[in-house]
Amino acid sequence: MSQQNPPFYSDEQTVPETPDPGSAPKSWSRTSMVGRRQPRVDGYELVSGKAVFPSDISLPGMLYGSVLRSPHPNAIVKNLDTRAAEQMPGVRAILTGKNPEANIVWSYPGDVKSMLFESHCRFEGEAIAAVAAENSYQAGDALRAIKVEFEVLPATVDELKALQAGAPRIHDGGNRTKPPESYQRGEVSRGFTQADVILEHTYRTECEIHTPLERHGCVAKWNRDRLTVWQSTQGVYRIQSQVSSILGMPLSKVRIIGQYMGGGFGSKLQADKETIIAALLAKKTGRPVKLFMSREETFIAAGNRPPTNMRLKAGVKKDGTLTALDFTCVATGGAYPAGGTSGVDWQIKDLYQCPNVRTELSDVYTNACPSRPFRAPGHPQGSWALEQMMDALAEEIGMDPVALRLKNIPAVSQARSGNPPYTSTGLRQCLIEGAKSFGWREARRAIASSDKDRNWRKGVGVASGTWVAGAGGPPSTIIVKLFPDGSVNLNMGASDIGTGTRTVMALVVSEELGVRPDLIDIDNADTATTQYATPSGGSKTVPTESPAVRAAAIHVKQQLLAMAAEELKEKAASLTMKGGTILSLNDPSKKIKVTDVAGLKKQGIIVGIGYRNPNPANRATNPFAAQFCEVEVNIKTGEVRILRFLSANDSGRVMSRLTYDSQVIGGITMGIGFAMMEARILDRNQTGKIVSGNWHDYKIPTAMDVPADIVSVPIDLPDNEANTTGAKGLGEPVTIPTAAVIANAIYNATGIRLASTPVSPVMLRRALAAKAKETSQKDELK
């Protein structure tokens, strides 16, 4: 493309020969390794406990850090007395805002700042002080010995109340993080006049907590002016950049290592305050410091998916043509600018063809923990509104919900300026193939004709979705080393956040070099020893890294073929590789095993380097999904059983079938949690404090909540225009429509439209009772 490829340089600065650009295909037509059901290449490490996660790190002389947090959602620290704590056994350092080195401004995306240790605590969990002690118990005891005098202020934890006149101001500038964000195309009022049916509904989604299995934290260690941090993170280079900037250190003196990490879902894209605190404590004590949050701390201080209050008005013609969508949302990222409304309107703006769309997003402050990106930020929230609305519209016009969606499939991205065409759009296939595999029509028919007197009533639902990103893109650099015995080392900066990135990349190398995936050693996620990568998140890791990995493998192959060509007295362009052998296409007698190539033996290794090229200009690359599920609802108790689920995904080429399916299962599981049980509950009436701040009170799905019958239907459409592996993002689209699918299935079973997540039996029972009363009243009136 337009980017100049920098040439190799030897020490002699020889002009490199022009390579034959035709010698490597631009895209794979067929693959033998990529797309396989390959068990994870790091499966043994992960299940045996041999993999060393940052939270497993234990260094000689290591201290344990712990953070004192505000117990109040809104309070001013009037006095902080650490004298007793300093005398506690095992205590080696105490840090507060009074320590000059801790006098650090903490930046959020907007203009509002806080301090590393803030004296005006605007949420429960705000850091006030920190301790390093010989063990975590002593650290905890010392925290309890710090005497804090608070001036407790009234808290505002309800985002709608925050906008009311006279509400206490969370920041001096008021309770809006910024003016309402508006988007408009066409003219919604005109759109509504063209509609045959107009519906309007209010929706709410509750705040969800990431709760990754490995908690948030790090181990920090100094070597004079060099800092090494083992951090549980999605992106070591981003952490390096932040730590370097906050501590005013050269990047070369900050090393972040995070080879394994136990989940993040967007909450581990950033350096935590804890990262900086651990570094400061380690500096102060001259010893390594381990600082991992407790599970309870992660509930109040490690981010969340913002709760939303949405209103959607939609117009449709009788033939299913959408004429207008009018959407407003009030949401909160908590006490600091943290993107409370980010991404909430993307489904409304871009999923279906609609000429007249207006959205308005109000992001407000509340006295709550700042949110962080959470798997498809904003998208499941918007989908909760849009996809229930689509279901309602379909019913109103008497159209099948799948048919209504098929009617409105766009060819271009309408929300992007210039309306760029998609590099590939598999939404149609997702809906058609998904419905077919699910047995949609049959199921709908069976339910329609089922016995309505049973307490357990079945229902099926559908919803689709798109993810705003997923194309990947530069920069990325990858190095592949081919050893003389044909085995390989792959060096990559990106984190494998549990999605199977290592396995995908091994398959890509295996495809190009014919080496068994288990013979590929992978080193990743270390700013000192591995290559540059952007954080793993946004469903962009595979589409970003896999083309660079492929380029590096091809680069190895070309060097190897050049060596073989010399030895076989054949042109490199006439050679091909099959298994471990290099063959001439012209002369079958000319062949040589990779392990017999003398040049490779002599050189000891071949090093290949690969870059990620820019994405095609004026094109949109988005993944699409359609999901289907069947539920069974007990209309007496409100209990919901999710019987089966199906997800049909267009995420470009299927790179690794087993990890692909794992992603689908994981996304649906997370969506079930979002729809059915997960809710950070704040005490809105009195204290403003969290009342579901642990895994006992905050429920996430267990094996009993997830159906055994989850079917993955990959729409295997390699997106060869997007990049050279044809992959698009998968991680986020698989969770976007899930909650709405369940809501639509529950409606199909019960006739109850759900306004709010989570759908508890209590809430559903109440709605069913109300509906029963209404029906009986109607019956009475008849």
Q: Which of residues 471-490 bind a copy of itself (CB under 8 A)?
A: 474-475, 477, 479, 481, 483-489
User: Of the listed pieces 389-397, 528-536, 578-586, 633-641, which binds a copy of itself according to CB under 8 A?
Assistant: 528-536
- Residue carrying the six token digits 């107009």: 198
Burial of 76 (0-12, 13-18, 19+ CB in 10 A): middle
- Residue carrying the six token digits 């390093």: 132
State the minimum distance, in angstroms, from the CB of residue 52 to a copy of itself: 10
Residue (223 or 685) nearer to a copy of itself, CB: 223
- State which of positions 531-570 bind a copy of itself (CB under 8 A): 531-532, 534, 547-548, 550-552, 554-555, 558-559, 562
The answer to whether residue 251 forms part of the interface with a copy of itself (CB under 8 A) is: yes
Task: State which of residues 120, 226, 428, 644 lies at the interface with a copy of itself (CB under 8 A).
Answer: 226
**445 by DSSP, 3-state: which?**
helix
SS3 per-residue string spanning 648-688: EEECECCCCHHHHHHHHHHHHHHHHHHHHCCCCCECCCCCC
What is the identity of the amino acid at 241?
Answer: S
The answer to whether residue 12 forms part of the interface with a copy of itself (CB under 8 A) is: yes
State the minimum distance, in angstroms, from the CB of residue 370 to a copy of itself: 25
Per-residue exposure over 535-570, b if at least 16 CB sit within 10 Å of its own CB, e if not: bbbbbbbbbbbbbbbbbbbbbbbbbbbbbbbeebeb
712 neighbors 650 (Cβ within 8 angstroms): no
129 neighbors 95 (Cβ within 8 angstroms): yes
State the minimum distance, in angstroms, from the CB of residue 558 to a copy of itself: 7
State the minimum distance, in angstroms, from the CB of residue 517 to a copy of itself: 11
The answer to whether residue 49 forms part of the interface with a copy of itself (CB under 8 A) is: no
The answer to whether residue 747 forms part of the interface with a copy of itself (CB under 8 A) is: no
Residue (49 or 418) nearer to a copy of itself, CB: 49
Task: State which of residues 252, 586, 694, 775 lies at the interface with a copy of itself (CB under 8 A).
Answer: 252
Q: Of 98, 138, 33, 179, whose CA–CA distance to 503 is shortest?
A: 33
What is the identity of the amino acid at 94?
Answer: I
User: Of the listed pieces 45-53, 277-285, 443-451, 740-748, which binds a copy of itself according to CB under 8 A?
Assistant: 45-53
Residue (212 or 538) nearer to a copy of itself, CB: 538
Binding residues with a copy of itself: total (CB under 8 A)? 88
Structure tokens at 274: 């804890």
- State which of positions 53-72 bind a copy of itself (CB under 8 A): 58, 60
The answer to whether residue 44 forms part of the interface with a copy of itself (CB under 8 A) is: yes
Residues 6+ apart with CB under 8 A from 160: 309, 330
State the minimum distance, in angstroms, from the CB of residue 508 to a copy of itself: 10
Whether cis (ω within 30° of 0) applies to the bond prior to 758 is yes
State the minimum distance, in angstroms, from the CB of residue 54 to a copy of itself: 16
Task: State which of residues 175, 231, 342, 530 lies at the interface with a copy of itself (CB under 8 A).
Answer: 530
459 neighbors 746 (Cβ within 8 angstroms): yes
Give the Cα separation of 400 and 462 in Å (integer). 10
Instruction: Show the DSSP H helices in 474-540 as ranges.
Output: 501-513
User: Of the listed pieces 66-74, 300-308, 458-466, 522-530, which binds a copy of itself according to CB under 8 A?
Assistant: 522-530
**673 by DSSP, 3-state: which?**
helix
Residues 6+ apart with CB under 8 A from 83: none
- State which of positions 422-461 bind a copy of itself (CB under 8 A): none
Give the Cα separation of 466 and 733 in Å (integer). 6
Task: State which of residues 46, 519, 706, 711 lies at the interface with a copy of itself (CB under 8 A).
Answer: 519
Q: Which residues pair with 131 in a beta bridge?
A: 66, 94
User: Of the listed pieces 302-310, 334-342, 529-537, 751-759, which binds a copy of itself according to CB under 8 A?
Assistant: 529-537
Task: State which of residues 1, 617, 703, 781 lies at the interface with a copy of itself (CB under 8 A).
Answer: 1
Task: State which of residues 423, 541, 613, 662 lies at the interface with a copy of itself (CB under 8 A).
Answer: 613
Give the Cα separation of 172 and 164 in Å (integer). 16
Residue (527 or 647) nearer to a copy of itself, CB: 527
Residue (389 or 482) nearer to a copy of itself, CB: 482
Task: State which of residues 28, 64, 346, 611 lies at the interface with a copy of itself (CB under 8 A).
Answer: 611
Instruction: Show the DSSP H helices in 286-424 as ranges.
Output: 295-301, 346-350, 379-397, 401-407
The length of the chain, given as a count of residues: 782
- State which of positions 336-365 bind a copy of itself (CB under 8 A): none
How far out from the chain centre does Cα 54 lie? 20
Residues 6+ apart with CB under 8 A from 49: none
Residue (48 or 79) nearer to a copy of itself, CB: 48
- State which of positions 694-723 bind a copy of itself (CB under 8 A): 723
Q: DSSP code of 39?
A: P
Residue (569 or 602) nearer to a copy of itself, CB: 602
- State which of positions 487-506 bind a copy of itself (CB under 8 A): 487-489, 491
φ, ψ for residue 417 (rounded to 5)? -70, 140
The answer to whether residue 255 forms part of the interface with a copy of itself (CB under 8 A) is: yes
Beta-strand pair 113-115/105-107: antiparallel
Residue (16 or 179) nearer to a copy of itself, CB: 16
Residue (527 or 662) nearer to a copy of itself, CB: 527
Task: State which of residues 18, 449, 685, 686 lies at the interface with a copy of itself (CB under 8 A).
Answer: 18
The answer to whether residue 168 forms part of the interface with a copy of itself (CB under 8 A) is: no
State the minimum distance, in angstroms, from the CB of residue 85 to a copy of itself: 30
State the minimum distance, in angstroms, from the CB of residue 263 to a copy of itself: 22
> DSSP characters for 691-731?
S--STTTS----GGGS-SEEEEEE-----TTT-SS-B---T
Residue (171 or 653) nearer to a copy of itself, CB: 653
Residue 486 Rama label (left phi>0; alpha psi -120 to 50; beta): left
Dihedral angle at the C-alpha atoms of 138, 141, 147, 150, nearest 10 degrees? 120
Structure tokens at 566: 């010399």
The answer to whether residue 50 forms part of the interface with a copy of itself (CB under 8 A) is: yes
Task: State which of residues 84, 403, 598, 605 lies at the interface with a copy of itself (CB under 8 A).
Answer: 605
The answer to whether residue 137 forms part of the interface with a copy of itself (CB under 8 A) is: no
State the minimum distance, in angstroms, from the CB of residue 475 to a copy of itself: 4
The answer to whether residue 11 forms part of the interface with a copy of itself (CB under 8 A) is: yes
Q: Of 290, 380, 287, whose CA–CA distance to 56 is shortest?
A: 290
Residue (237 or 336) nearer to a copy of itself, CB: 237
Burial of 599 (0-12, 13-18, 19+ CB in 10 A): middle
Give the Cα separation of 601 and 768 in Å (integer). 75
State the minimum distance, in angstroms, from the CB of residue 736 to a copy of itself: 28
Task: State which of residues 46, 609, 643, 706 lies at the interface with a copy of itself (CB under 8 A).
Answer: 609
Residue (558 or 756) nearer to a copy of itself, CB: 558
The answer to whether residue 26 forms part of the interface with a copy of itself (CB under 8 A) is: yes
Structure tokens at 520: 């590929």
Task: State which of residues 74, 366, 388, 724 lies at the interface with a copy of itself (CB under 8 A).
Answer: 724
How far out from the chain centre does Cα 370 lie? 17
The answer to whether residue 224 forms part of the interface with a copy of itself (CB under 8 A) is: yes
Give the Cα separation of 643 and 632 in Å (integer). 7
The answer to whether residue 32 forms part of the interface with a copy of itself (CB under 8 A) is: no
Residue (528 or 762) nearer to a copy of itself, CB: 528
Instruction: Show the DSSP H helices in 146-289 as ranges.
Output: 188-194, 236-247, 273-285
- State which of positions 565-604 bind a copy of itself (CB under 8 A): 602-604
Give the Cα separation of 524 and 501 in Å (integer). 10
